[in-house]
Chains A and B, each alone.
Chain A
């Protein structure tokens, strides 16, 4: 017996044979559908006794061809009849899955509400941190030193190579481009001022913040998020261990401590890159550069840079932990929250940087 599903129209009746299953129908689906549509009008008797198999996909196809009612005369095996009956028992009109329509005001409103909720969540997390710190001050035995040092190592020490590489290349680029401009004015010596101020005060901290937000911030969100999905966070709570003291606090404190160190390291490497480029491009000796750097760049710039690093580290870790704690147990939420964490962290860092620029505009700029 042939397994290929086929439909034969004889005078006064339609004969179906073969295996009418999804897998067997797929190659000739279009022809079968057309043949069924043709066969529906005029012919009254349906002979399905020669069917070897009939699955529900085929039954739905038949039922639609019969326009939702049993044909006047039908010959069909008991088992196959049962399959068609199942389809017949379904309500005729299937409710279409609802398609959510989004209006612009609704969209904006929802977005604002979400932003407000996130802000509230972060303030709550900040408050929790203060409470935890007070608790730890009274119970120094509970301070999670091991987690704290692990986080400093993970977010600080392991980030040294990549920040050095990026810092070096940025230093070289800025020095090279500035040198081209300065040469045309004959103001070669000002390369020290430009590199010193821009890298130490501005570029070093922001560059590190962007790198760390992408590298450590996303890792924190994903880690806390997965711990939530797999109920590890709940497991910690049942052991009487505070999730905020063991999981959140060491991450935030760790990054807050590690960031200024990373900023110092990256600024140093970027300056070194800039010095090398200046040596090659302007014949400015390394000794001259190093001797003049403290003279033209007041040390307060360094403090501002380190202060920025401190604040940026705190902000990145706080944002990352907040989004991590709000991951819902599905893959979509995990990816959305990780993205939000990185985007929000970088945006907030740049916002904070602007605030820093406004409030420190009187400090550390050499008056000529």
Chain B
């Protein structure tokens, strides 16, 4: 089956004040893949995610989402691209002044095309998708527990029916039980909605539970990219160090 390319990075180089983060980095993610992005602390995973989102411009190189260059000057094209992706920030990044309901309704209202009833149904649908009830809609973000913040943030990321979902440490700060639930939730949603997912994680269980593909970021570029089984065979100090004796766990 010929799958569409969703994310394409070519020759991306980034540096902060002379300190190189990425050098000639390339990555290509196809539709329907769940890619786990691995790398040591400070290896530039979050920077890479921000570059994919277009929040940060690499010094050189091309970032293409759905075949559209993020440097394209056409504002309308840029906005359309943003509507096709959803981002789950590490700490949720919920709008603290808005209730849970309004947080999820916000991107829908911004389209200025949907009527109130439609928005209401969609918000309740998204809340139900992430396992929350209508009663939770009235809460303010400050009143939520860590796990609920992630769920609401996921519901908001899904509000615009994205084709591409980016997750930054989706299970960090959750207890193993909740983290397992969250992984199952994302996996279920991914199968049903046919999403492409890119996630940054340090958690082996999350990786084993979700990822179809693994990309490893070390030495300023993607040193390996492939299915989980392929990654097992890589002999690189980072891979050996990261998985240690637990390599088998990934399978």
Give chain A's interface residues, CB within 8 Å of chain B.
21-23, 26, 29, 53, 55-57, 60-61, 63-64, 79, 82-83, 86-87, 89-90, 94-98, 328-332
Task: Find out whether the CB atom of B160 lies under 8 angstroms from the CB atom of A94.
Answer: no
Contacts of B96 in A (CB 8 A): 329-332
Task: Find out whether the CB atom of A94 lies under 8 angstroms from the CB atom of B120.
Answer: yes
A96 to B118, CA, bound (A): 12
Binds A, one of B124-132, B200-208, B243-251: B124-132
Task: Find out whether the CB atom of A89 lies under 8 angstroms from the CB atom of B142.
Answer: no
**Closest A residue, CB atoms, query B95:** A331
A23-B83 contact given A55-B161, A56-B125, CB 8 Å threshold = yes
A23 to B194, CA, bound (A): 15
Task: Find out whether the CB atom of B111 lies under 8 angstroms from the CB atom of A60.
Answer: no
A-B contact count (CB 8 A): 74
Task: Find out whether the CB atom of B120 lies under 8 angstroms from the CB atom of A96.
Answer: yes
Give min CB distance, A99 to chain B, whole Å. 12
A147 to B126, CA, bound (A): 49
Give chain B's interface residues, CB within 8 Å of chain A.
80, 83-84, 95-97, 99, 101, 111, 113-114, 117-118, 120-122, 124-126, 128-129, 134, 137-138, 140-142, 160-161, 163, 192-194
Task: Find out whether the CB atom of B134 lies under 8 angstroms from the CB atom of A64.
Answer: no
Q: Which of B84, B124, B138 contacts A90 (CB 8 A)?
A: B124
A22 to B101, CA, bound (A): 20
Contacts of B134 in A (CB 8 A): 94-95
A248 to B122, CA, bound (A): 47
Task: Find out whether the CB atom of A329 lies under 8 angstroms from the CB atom of B121.
Answer: no
Contacts of B137 in A (CB 8 A): 97
Q: Which 5 pairs from chain A and chain B are nearest by CB?
A: A330-B96, A332-B97, A55-B161, A22-B161, A94-B120
In the complex, besides A26-B113, A329-B96, A329-B142, 19 extra interface pairs with C-beta distance below 8 angstroms are: A23-B80, A23-B84, A23-B163, A56-B125, A57-B122, A60-B118, A63-B121, A79-B192, A82-B192, A86-B128, A89-B128, A90-B121, A90-B128, A95-B134, A97-B99, A97-B120, A330-B96, A330-B97, A330-B140
Contacts of A98 in B (CB 8 A): 138
Task: Find out whether the CB atom of B121 lies under 8 angstroms from the CB atom of A21.
Answer: no
Provide 27 A-B residue pairs closer than 8 Å at the C-beta atoms, listed in order of the A residue: A21-B161, A22-B83, A22-B111, A22-B160, A23-B160, A23-B161, A26-B113, A29-B113, A55-B193, A56-B125, A56-B126, A56-B161, A61-B118, A63-B121, A79-B192, A83-B192, A86-B125, A86-B129, A89-B128, A94-B134, A96-B120, A97-B101, A97-B137, A98-B138, A329-B96, A329-B142, A331-B96
Give min CB distance, A327 to chain B, whole Å. 11
A95 to B111, CA, bound (A): 22
**Closest B residue, CB atoms, query A60:** B121
Contacts of B121 in A (CB 8 A): 60, 63-64, 87, 90, 94
Contacts of B193 in A (CB 8 A): 55
Give min CB distance, A5 to chain B, whole Å. 13
Contacts of A96 in B (CB 8 A): 120
A329 to B250, CA, bound (A): 39
A363 to B114, CA, bound (A): 70
Task: Find out whether the CB atom of B192 lies under 8 angstroms from the CB atom of A60.
Answer: no
Contacts of B125 in A (CB 8 A): 56, 60, 86-87, 90
A28 to B59, CA, bound (A): 38
Contacts of B113 in A (CB 8 A): 26, 29
A53 to B4, CA, bound (A): 15
Task: Find out whether the CB atom of B142 lies under 8 angstroms from the CB atom of A328.
Answer: yes
A87 to B161, CA, bound (A): 14
Give min CB distance, B37 to chain A, whole Å. 25
A94-B124 contact given A60-B118, A83-B192, A330-B142, CB 8 Å threshold = yes
Q: Which of A23, A94, A330, A331 contacts B117 (CB 8 A)?
A: A94
A330 to B192, CA, bound (A): 35
A355 to B192, CA, bound (A): 71
Give min CB distance, A36 to chain B, whole Å. 12
**Closest A residue, CB atoms, query B120:** A94
Contacts of A87 in B (CB 8 A): 121, 125
